[in-house]
Structure 1
Amino acid sequence: MLHPWDSQQFRRGAKDAGRPDQVIDRAIATARRIKRKNRDLPVIFSIFHLAHLTDIDVDSLLSVVDRTEDHYRIFRVKKRSVPGRVAPSRRYRTICVPSPALKRIQRWIAQNILNVTETHPASHAFAPESDLVEAANEHLRSSWIVKLDIINFFETVTERQVYYVFRSLGYAALLSFQLARICTRTLKLTPKGRAGSEGRVPHERYIAGHLPQGAPTSPMLANLAVRQLDDELDNLAKRLGWKYTRYADDLTFSLEGKSSRGKAAELMSLASQTLSRAGFTSNKLKAKIIPPGARKVVLGVLVDTDRARLSKKFRNNLETHLYALTSHKIGVRSHMQNRGFDSVIGMRQHIEGLLAFAHHVDEKYAAGLYRQFNSIDWLA
């Protein structure tokens, strides 16, 4: 969406509305500061202006900013391991779903502010036109690969960092604070065993706002909040002769030439220290050095040749799903129970995701599997 700005037209309208010249000049200076950062960004002067632009009641926005109540529905979903990747260390992922009104304003912010803002070139997730396979392609024909994973990526990005994202885009301090509040959630902790006991009110404490996983704004805000971290890791990699990419919380370093396990371990250590200084923690269980001769998988795809390929483990898993679901001896219900799915709908969505991934990597291979998938009788 385009957000044109004409300072002369604004000045005429403001004068006709009886605004003082000093106020008009400050507003125009703010608008020019925003447009200098990115001409596609919308000019927003205040939360009242934001409410007008989005056609949302300002009292609703102020309620979110003041945090008088929790505007999120919280639930947990099971984590499923991705074939070719390390199984998750935690079995569940906490999802925070914003209320309809909050989701509406967050979507507007995501579409009109965040999605028109450039991320670091090494970042390949969440942004428009981002591509998982493109990220994996950066590491084709590598002889050495070092992989790191960030623990609680979204939850570690703080309200303060989000505030500075909006400030860096030229928005005023107060509005940046309010935008940060709209895009983050405060976690309330209650001591175990005390909630509701004999009618006593438990002592509660609050953790500073963080990005909630499930909000439309969180993915791109996470990318923009760690732009400096991406820059430091990219410079570290280049200094040592390696290549660096980040896909959400997955960090990959690769090298086409000769190296040694000792040098790879040094890179891993320096990268982990860089993460720590930025407030993030590397998951030691997922840290990995892949030497020459070993199978090289990046983001679930093989990168050991001149093109990304699906791993044999991925193909076998997907083909087994489809065989069982089309088999008269097994069928939908039995396979759902055997594989531990909670519902047929959940299983179907999971397999559709696998098929979409397969199609993205290898269209010819996936075409035949789609025909098999479309023949499944889900009501049987």
Structure 2
Amino acid sequence: MRYLLFLFAWEDSMYTIESFCNAIWETSYSKVSQGVTKEEYGEFEIPKKGGSRVINYLGRDTSMWNLQHKLLKNFLEKQDLPVCVKGFRQGESYHSFLAEHIGSKFFLRIDISSFFPSITEKQIKNELSRLLACNSNEEKEKLLKLICDITTLNDCLPQGACTSPAISNLVMARIDQRITKYCQVFDIRYTRYADDLLFSSEGFNFKSKNWFLKKIKYILSSQNLKLNYSKIKYGENELVLNGYIISNKGICLSRSRLSDIRHVVSFAKKNRNLIEEFGSERFLQEINKLPLRHRDLTEYPFNTVFQFIQYMCGYRAFLISLVDRSYEETSFQKQLQHLIRKLETQITHYT
């Protein structure tokens, strides 16, 4: 209901293409249009099973990155979202994605296959159309086309665009509402972090009631989204998810997750001068070779140095939350504090 009320509130703000461009980019429509140059996308290859994968990215000094960044800060991030959304929004984190499920007995994790590439210009226009009130349909179509020109590549969301996570949240908003409403019937908790959907309950056994999964699959199909069946995961009493362990006591880190953090810190320390000497492309090529257990770099590579910095910042925030909440012995908490200090040193250098 909160989300729907927000949408209606936007009816009071009638945009023209010029007023929107002035509000978001502080310039005219013609100048914004001139800055839309998809040729600025660079690309590099990362190895994967059976060959390689081409990744697109934007440098922070490009006009496209600047347009995307201002759209993100001045418009996309200001939109309201359902409370179940925990990824890529201010005040939320991977910890909050997991924390709501502490104390549950049964768990179900679902992954959406090819999340960003599955979100098309048509879907983006449909969802943004609900947020934008314009003086005429012609103005709205013109504005929607401009936003899609800035945020998409090859008719879908590119992983290398800073706007992609926020737009994916907007496209998913109505689906999140439907899933939340359905879960409330069975007293099931639901949170989403990007393409990860997490469900838990004190009495609902997901594994023995497979019709629940079929219902979620049906809801996702309304946006042409498909499940990645190889990543479906069930748990009872605890769930080990991406190197985090959720139980009725709290959340802690697995040894493999701690190993990933150490790999990241070590790489950051040893390659401080790589960007200055060879440029960001070389840096990204090297970091995407890291043997990380809990980030599939063939599927979710680091596309920008800023993304890598945010990755370290995310780990730092998560470890800080675990220092206060950890149910492990004091030696584990000291270990976390040591890692936090190491991350802070590297974050300071790269920012």
| TM-score, scaled relative to structure 1 | 0.64
C-alpha separation in 2, matches of 1:79 and 1:249: 22
Give the deviation of 1:362 after TM superposition: 2.5
Say what the alpha-carbon RMSD is for the aligned residues.
4.1
1:47 counterpart letter in structure 2:
I
CA contact (8 A) 2:38 2:153 kept: no
**Match in the other structure for 1:55:** 26
Larger CA Rg, structure 1 vs 2: 1
Q: Secondary structure at the match of 1:302?
A: strand
State how far apart, in whole Å, the 1-side matches of 2:198 and 2:98 are. Answer: 9
**SS across alignment from 1:133:** helix
Structure 1 Cα separation of the partners of residues 71 and 14 of structure 2: 11
Gaps of 5+ in 2: 1-5, 272-283, 291-304, 324-332
Provide the residue aligned with 1:301 in structure 2.
244
* Distance (whole Å) between structure 1 residues aligned to residue 342 and residue 68 of structure 2: 39
Matches within 5 A, 1:190-229: 209-229=155-175
With over 3 angstroms needed to count, the CA separation of the structure-2 counterparts of 1:281 and 1:374, relative to structure 1, is closer
1:46: which partner in 2? 16
Identity fraction in percent: 18
Normalised by the length of structure 2, the TM-score is 0.69
CA distance in 2, matches of 1:226, 1:256: 26
- Partner secondary structure for residue 210 of structure 1: coil
Q: Do the aligned residues in 1 keep the contact of 2:43 with 2:55 (CA within 8 Å)?
A: yes
Check the 8 A contact 1:38/1:117 in 2, yes or no.
no
CA pair 370-255 structure 1, distance change in 2 beyond 3 A: closer
Superposed CA deviations along residues 59-112 of structure 1, whole A, max 9, x for unmatched, are 343457xx8x634414246499xxxxxxx9997573342783233233222222
CA distance in 2, matches of 1:258, 1:345: 39
| Among candidates 53, 67, 81, match of residue 119 of structure 1 | 81
SS of the equivalent of 1:268 reads: helix
Q: Is the 8 A contact 2:58 2:64 kept in 1?
A: no
- Secondary structure at the residue paired with 1:142? coil
Q: Distance in 2 between matches of 1:178 and 1:49?
A: 13
- Aligned-pair CA distance for 1:139: 1.0
- 1:136 is aligned to 98
How far the C-alpha of 1:155 sits from its partner, in A, is 2.2
Deviation track 1:13-32 (CA, whole Å, cap 9, x = no partner) reads: xxxxxxxxxxxxxxxxxxxx
Cα distance change, pair 305–318 in 1 and its aligned pair in 2 (3 A): same
Matched position secondary structure for 1:184 = helix
Task: Verify: 1:102 aligned to 2:64, yes or no.
Answer: yes
Residue correspondence of structure 1 range 1-380 to structure 2 within 5 A? 37-38=9-10, 43=13, 45-53=15-23, 54-63=25-34, 70-76=38-44, 78=46, 92=53, 94-97=55-58, 100-172=62-134, 173-184=137-148, 209-257=155-203, 259=205, 261-263=207-209, 265-290=210-235, 292-293=236-237, 295-298=238-241, 300-318=243-261, 343=286, 352=312, 356=316, 359-363=319-323, 364=333, 365-370=335-340
Name the SS for the 1:309 alignment partner. Answer: strand
Greater CA deviation, 119-128 or 236-245?
Answer: 236-245
Structure 1: where are the runs of 5+ without partners?
1-33, 81-87, 189-208, 326-330, 334-340
